[in-house]
Structure 1
Amino acid sequence: MKLFFTFLLLTLYTQTFAQTGNLYKGTINNKIKITLYLQGLNEGTNADQIIGVYKYDTNKDYILLNGYRNNNGNISFIELPNTNFTGTFLGTLTKNRIVGKWISANQTKQYPFELTEIVATKEQLNTFENGLVEKGKEFRNY
């Protein structure tokens, strides 16, 4: 029985940490360059949560993303740099692109965004996966 539970835990651990995501590069407002990483786009159903992080290419800090995709490819992500959300990404996912608008939390600013999936290196994926894990740890402290 002990062996069974050990095997079960190892299986769950491997599935959790073997998960890879999609990496996108693009712009907000046609000039602010960002890189965005999402996990969960290709797994499960549209009711399953999609998580990720993004960062401005000129900044090292990650911003947590939490969202969903519907049957039509529409996406909605809330950005959380800390415990207060600061903006929302609303857009459409088609093949390897996400296009839409970013809206500030107080709805006073709206900017178009456009992202294209890139073929990421293992190092790039690891960097963003680590950023996601670290951001998650940070939220446990709140």
Structure 2
Amino acid sequence: MTASKRIVLSSDHAAIALRQTLAEHIAAKGWEVTDLGPTSPESTHYPKHGEAAARHVAAGDSDVGIVLCGTGQGIMMAANKVKGIRCGVCADAFSARMIREHNNANMLSIGARVVGEGLALEIVDAFLDAEFEGGRHATRVEMIDALEA
């Protein structure tokens, strides 16, 4: 992936434990991890956490980001509202690899109430180990980016 290997993670209250497990796993792989998520179980709003992580990536403070909520859907929708973000929700490793290789996704979303810890680790590894293929996919990503104009 990138030489600097900087990643930001965030979540709402539904995914604190899984987010912290993923942060430890990712750090052990040599990534510099920034965790913006809550640490207490009180209910919190996923849009603000999705936005915060997405702005971190969009500003270049992290190369990629991972966000989590109960289903992964809501926080992904919030992240995608930030210009320059391409975030996909994945519940399998194949999709996580493909959003990097074909869509040049810079963020991944996972549903903590959808996948277990073991599968989440596989999904994260697939996402982080994949690289954008470019070529015909670059034209399509440019088309997606043009929608923000």
Which protein has the bigger strand share? Answer: 1
Taking structure 1 as the reference length, what is the TM-score of the superposition? 0.28
Identify the structure with bigger relative contact order (alpha carbons < 8 Å, sequence gap 6+). Answer: 2
Larger Rg: 1
